[in-house]
Amino acid sequence: TARLVDGIAVAAKIRTELKERTGRLATAGCVPGLAVIMVGNDPASAVYVRNKIRACHEVGIHSSRFDFPSDADPAEVLACIRSLNADPTVHGILVQLPLPKHFSVPDILEAISAEKDVDGFHLYNVGGLVVGSTVFPPCTPYGVVKLLEHEGVEIEGKNVVVVGASNIVGKPMALMLMQREATVCICHAKTRDLAQFTILADILVVAAGKPNLIVPQMVKTGAVVIDVGINRLPDGRLVGDVDFAGVSQKASLITPVPGGVGPMTITMLLANTIASAERRMSLAEPERS
Ligand code: NAD
């Protein structure tokens, strides 16, 4: 049976290192600052924002929160972003998605200074990802790469299949693994016969948001299976996209849900914010994306 990846433990280890980095920054007279903008009162978003703010506090990042009502004028939010762009105490700006329907998400994301775009969604950083030079890798796929590194999983030359092609997870995941010289295949909702692709994967990353999408007969024996999905079942249980019990019998390494990729996402947001402050202070240690 597969070895389990303990995302909580890996995240805790990385957060300890991040705390040391904020300590060094403090010595140099800089407290990293993250500004979080939330529009409306989506309950899931509210939980994510609270968790991000708590995590900032734990590692020594100063966070500030800007709340707008769901009927806010996009111009007000843009004005807030512009003032944060100009504020030297702010090193990271994130706008919690989704936004209300009357907002243009691209307009909001492009308004954030590329130098403070810690979610990595600005086109400049997306372009950087394509050419392998981004400074803010998007947090969820960045967390997956860190988990693979931590577990000593070799990426170069491996067959990787990414199930899911969103801008937030699937596409950047595929680009980051291609940059590390894996052979990458991207599947999505219109893929015909998903199993014929997934069965080839040495590393299978699943981010579709569909419980039990991946069953054992779709997985190669000994594969590394990374389950990014988070689904709430009618009985209240939280599950991923992978039939965990079944696939565990076949994989060599597997991430649980919860406790796998999830804890890494916020950790990488903290890492991006600290890296931004270090760059400002010229303390940066360059890292491959
Ligand atoms: P999304 O809905 O934007 O994209 C889903 C992708 O999966 C699309 O490309 C779609 O074509 C594909 N897909 C849907 N059904 C499929 C099927 N039957 N077969 C193959 N592909 C299919 O979602 P997202 O924002 O990319 O998130 C994906 C999942 O990851 C969700 O469950 C989300 O909650 C979770 N997520 C987790 C974290 C984390 O920190 N662990 C972060 C972000 C998202």
Cβ–ligand 1 contact at 261 (below 6 Å): yes
For ligand 1, atom 4: residue with the closest CA: 166
Per the annotation, binding residues for NADP(+) are 164-166, 230
DSSP E strand boundaries for 29-105 = 33-39, 62-68, 92-95
Strand partners, 94: 36
Look up the ipTM and state it.
Answer: 0.99
Cβ–ligand 1 contact at 268 (below 6 Å): no
For ligand 1, atom 17: residue with the closest CA: 189
Please confirm, yes or no, whether 13 is among the known catalytic residues: no
Q: Provide the residue ranges of all domains of the chain, joining segments of one domain with +.
A: 31-113, 139-262
Distance separating alpha carbons of residues 258 and 131, to the nearest angstrom: 33
Classify domain 31-113 at the CATH superfamily level. Answer: Leucine Dehydrogenase, chain A, domain 1 (3.40.50.10860)
Q: Do domains 31-113 and 139-262 have the same CATH topology?
A: yes
Cβ–ligand 1 contact at 188 (below 6 Å): yes
Cβ–ligand 1 contact at 260 (below 6 Å): no
**Which is the closest atom of ligand 1 to the Cα of 169?**
26
What is the pLDDT at residue 52? 96
What is the pLDDT at residue 128? 97
- List Cα–Cα distances, 184 to 39, 119, 133, 178, 255, in angstroms: 36, 23, 19, 6, 20
What is the pLDDT at residue 286? 58
Distance separating alpha carbons of residues 58 and 29, to the nearest angstrom: 19
283 CB-contact burial (10 Å; exposed 0-12 / middle 13-18 / buried 19+): middle
**Which is the closest atom of ligand 1 to the Cα of 210?**
15
Classify domain 139-262 at the CATH superfamily level. Answer: NAD(P)-binding Rossmann-like Domain (3.40.50.720)
pTM of the model: 0.96
What is the pLDDT at residue 31? 98
Cβ–ligand 1 contact at 194 (below 6 Å): yes
Residue of 6, 117, 119, 227 marked active site: 119
For ligand 1, atom 41: residue with the closest CA: 262
Distance separating alpha carbons of residues 285 and 68, to the nearest angstrom: 36
Token pair belonging to 91: 């090193």
- For every one of its 289 residues, what pLDDT tens digit does the chain have, with 9 covering 90 and above? 999 999 999 999 999 999 999 999 999 999 999 999 999 999 999 999 999 999 999 999 999 999 999 999 999 999 999 999 999 999 999 999 999 999 999 999 999 999 999 999 999 999 999 999 999 999 999 999 999 999 999 999 999 999 999 999 999 999 999 999 999 999 999 999 999 999 999 999 999 999 999 999 999 999 999 999 999 999 999 999 999 999 999 999 999 999 999 999 999 999 999 999 999 998 666 555 5
Q: How far is the CA of 224 from the centre of ligand 1 (A)?
A: 19
Cβ–ligand 1 contact at 11 (below 6 Å): no
What is the pLDDT at residue 282? 84
